[in-house]
Amino acid sequence: MVNKAQAYEDKYKGCIIGLSVGDALGMPVEWFTRAQIEEMGGIREYIDPINKFKGILKAGDYTDDTEQTLALSNAFDKFGYSEDKFIENLLYWYNHNPIGIGPTSSKALENLSKGIKKGMPSETCGSAMRTAPLGLFYYDDLSKLVEKSISITKLTHNSPNAVAGALSISYMVSKCLIHGIAHNTYDRYRLEEGSDDGLGNMNLIKSVYEKDVGAFLSKDLEEKKEEDEYKNYKDNDNNNGNIDYDNDISKYEHTDASHSTYAKIIEYNKNVINKKHMEKGYNPIVYIEETKQKRPYQYPEFRKSIEDCSHLLIDTSIEFSEKILDILEICEKVHNSNYDKKVILEGYDKLGTGINAIEAVPSAIFSFMISNSFKSSLLNSINAGGDTDSIGSMCGALAGTYYGYNAIPKKWVNGLSNNEKILNTAINLYNLKVLD
């Protein structure tokens, strides 16, 4: 049984390990085109590099994306992120054979080593690839998440699109954490075999869910409740005002997909685990397995989050904000085509898979949105070609956070270089957040 703390820890570990796995899967074919990757039979496992890393790195090794993410993850204390510590960590890496370092980071870190805090006017994804830990630590504080994403990027990449890319990744990681926890709660409820009639845990689920998913939902519901009470008071003398909100929440129209999960819990409460099932010795585990096989693609659940992400970027880069909305348009087509490969590939063509944040970041998000497991997210992202290690790592951060560490194939975790060190970094970050 997974409790709340374990669920969060699973997400933190999933994010940082997932990011590293994506980097290691993409590293051997960085800058290969999609056609070239297809020609060699596609990437499904770690392989020895066949590009510039040949003879330098081996299967399961990672590059600058992971190194800089670890530098950031290790720059937190219980009060939050420390810029001085981050610069110190970055420079330590820079001075110790920084394999795979990008052209912008190289120049910017040279400046930082001389005490010059002046980012380069670069549009690459060199900052977006490292900002996932901000989404984990500041998922409950949007203003800090925004402020830190901007300042961390400007240390090295001082351009509107690089900032917008970094902001997109930290924001979407925070949403993956929130949505992922909501799913955990849902799954946990379904696994509660011990409950006498399958209805007994509803209050627990409600309290956990409302707390975890955030104040916006409770606030929204409270406002609706007040509106309704006032309306009833005004319109209907016969109504004594007793509205059963606990069982009638689904009647309200909520725009955020996370609410639909809540509605699903209620539906499930009513329809699936009921006395009839329990009397017949119904085993909820079977349902879980069936559900897992049919787990939905992420696009419908994240529609609102992507829209919010686009709005968040308007002040930073209108071009990037519009590009984020393009993801939705393409996802809609992919969804309507029933996830047809040709339509998916057209999507990657439209978004682009190059090194610039405005291509790599949308492609990473798109890969996650059109998939329904950690594995499928990652294989989609790597086999699209281009800046495979960075797109893979950003997609890995999103998918790892959402599905959690336990959903990452064990052979990918075991084959990852320094996996224990990376795991401990994630656990440490989680502990700092809890202590805060």
Closest distance between Mg ion and the C-beta of residue 100, in Å?
A: 4
Is 388 assigned a ligand-binding role in the annotation? no
Q: Looking at beta carbons only, is 51 or 232 nearer to Mg ion? A: 51
CA geometry: angle 136, 417, 6, nearest 5 deg: 35
Q: Looking at beta carbons only, is 49 or 404 nearer to Mg ion? A: 49
Q: What is the DSSP string of 124-141?
A: BSTTGGG-HHHHHHTTT-
Is 64 assigned a ligand-binding role in the annotation? yes
Which whole-number Å values give the CA distances from 302 to 171, 177, 179, 364, in the listed order? 12, 12, 8, 14
Of the candidates 431, 434, 429, the residue with the CA atom closest to the CA atom of residue 132? 429
Q: Rounded CA gap, 154 and 161, in Å?
A: 11
What are residue 54's phi and psi, to 5 degrees?
-55, 130
Assess contact for 434 and 5: CB atoms under 8 A: yes
Bridge partners of 124, per DSSP, are 356
Is 387 assigned a ligand-binding role in the annotation? yes
Residues 6+ apart with CB under 8 A from 207: none
Closest distance between Mg ion and the C-beta of residue 321, in Å?
A: 26
Assess contact for 326 and 351: CB atoms under 8 A: yes
**Sign of the dihedral through C-alpha 371, 292, 396, 258:** positive
Q: Looking at beta carbons only, is 14 or 100 nearer to Mg ion? A: 100
Q: Looking at beta carbons only, is 198 or 396 nearer to Mg ion? A: 396
Q: What is the DSSP string of 8-50?
A: HHHHHHHHHHHHHHHHHHHGGGTT--HHHHHHTT---S-----
Q: Looking at beta carbons only, is 127 or 298 nearer to Mg ion? A: 127
The beta strands (E) that lie in 329-422 are given as none
Q: Rounded CA gap, 266 and 274, in Å?
A: 12
Binding site for Mg ion (CB under 5 A): 63-65, 100, 389
Is 66 assigned a ligand-binding role in the annotation? no
The residue type at 342: K
Residue positions forming the annotated binding site for Mg(2+): 63-65, 387, 389-390
Residue positions forming the annotated binding site: 63-65, 387, 389-390
